[in-house]
Amino acid sequence: MKILVAIKRVVDYNVRVQVKPDGSGVATDGVKMSINPFDEIAIEEALRIKEQGKANEVIVVTIGSNDSQQQLRTAMAMGADRAILVESNAAVQPLQAAQVLLQVIEQEQPGLVITGKQAIDDDNNQTPQMLATLWNRPQATFASKVEFIEGNKINVTREVDAGLETIQVELPAVVSTDLRLNEPRFVKLPDIMKAKRKPLDVKAIADMVAAPKGQAIEVLKYEAPQARQKGVMVETVDELIEILKDKGLVS
């Protein structure tokens, strides 16, 4: 079985992004870029499944600018076997991304697709569900545990508001990862060298999906969030309780 992992190059999660003064976007020049953290968890999960002997190839794919090759190389240094870059210099919205990934699925015929539940830039949380829909296959979102059971099925434990929900899905399926699924491994230097020789296939987005369905949502303006006013510091519990009583928050 092949596992396809879809990843995205995003501003590193430690960077505090700033909105540009003219409201045209967020400042990304010279900012550290990384694999979306949820996607890194997806890569790790695919590698662990392969190491358990339940898959024989891990293919990592991304849609983005040519710079995304860096993140694909990192994924291959972690252990992915080969990579596909679908090159696009324009931002791609989830429905379009799902259509491109569907084309990759049709070419590669994976038994399982794993991807992060959301990218930490747009915070959309849509592409995995849309991909599963277009593929007409099941989804298991927000996964914190993936367990293979007999008959080409998996049990996936999902982090939901009420607690931990387990569902059973038939493969092929799309799994989207949550934070506690695993802890991604660190990349070792020799693996970085080895990853340079692994195959990385570059395709133009227009060759994958010439006329994507669905209109893009237009972004009119970016603004910084309203900051909360810095409050007061108190020295004692008595002062704290006094303030809470004044505000009517405790009786």
Partner 1 sequence: MSKVLILAEHNGSQVNQSTAKVLTAAKQMNAASIDVVVFGNDAGLAPQVAVLNGVSQVHYVQCDDNHDQLAASIAPSIAQMGKNYSHVFGPSTTFGKDVMPRVAALLEVNQLSDVMEIIDANNFKRPIYAGNAIITVKTDTTQIVATVRTASFPADKSTDGQATVTESALTTAATHTSFVQLASGNSDRPDLQTASKVISGGRGVGSEENFEIVYNLADKMGAATGASRAAVDAGYVPNDMQVGQTGKIIAPDLYMCFGISGAIQHLTGIKDAGTIVAINKDGDAPIFEVADVGLVGDLFKIIPEMMEKL
Site for partner 1 in 105-124 (CB under 8 A): 117, 120-124
- Cβ proximity to partner 1, 18 vs 56, nearer residue: 18
Residue 207, C-beta contacts closer than 8 angstroms, at least 6 positions apart: none
The runs of H, that is alpha helices, within 82-152 are 94-108, 127-135
Contact string 75-94 vs partner 1 (x = CB under 8 A):
------------------xx
Write down the least CB distance from residue 76 to partner 1, Å.
Answer: 27
> In the range 177-206, which residues lie near partner 1 by CB under 8 A?
178-180
Write down the least CB distance from residue 104 to partner 1, Å.
Answer: 17
Number of amino acids touching partner 1 (CB under 8 A): 80
Residue of 155, 185, 192, 203 that binds partner 1 (CB under 8 A): 155
Residue of 3, 4, 98, 105 that binds partner 1 (CB under 8 A): 98
The amino acid that residue 110 corresponds to is P
Distances in Å between the Cα of 9 and the Cα atoms of 39, 103, 214, 247 are: 9, 20, 23, 45
Q: Are 100 and 210 in contact (CB under 8 A)?
A: no
Residue 36 binds to partner 1 (criterion: CB under 8 A):
no
Q: Are 72 and 59 in contact (CB under 8 A)?
A: no
Strand partners, 155: 147, 168
Taken as a whole, the chain contains a residue count of 251
Smallest CA-to-CA distance from 178 within 194, 196, 163 is with 163
Residue of 47, 84, 100, 169 that binds partner 1 (CB under 8 A): 169
Write down the least CB distance from residue 94 to partner 1, Å.
Answer: 6
Residue 139 binds to partner 1 (criterion: CB under 8 A):
yes
Q: How far apart are CA 251 and CA 241, in angstroms?
A: 9
Quote the DSSP letter at residue 26. Answer: B
> In the range 226-245, which residues lie near partner 1 by CB under 8 A?
228-238, 240-241, 243-244
Q: How far apart are CA 221 and CA 181, in angstroms?
A: 35
For partner 1, which stretch binds (CB under 8 A), given 67-75, 82-90, 161-169, 203-211?
Answer: 161-169
Residue 22 binds to partner 1 (criterion: CB under 8 A):
no
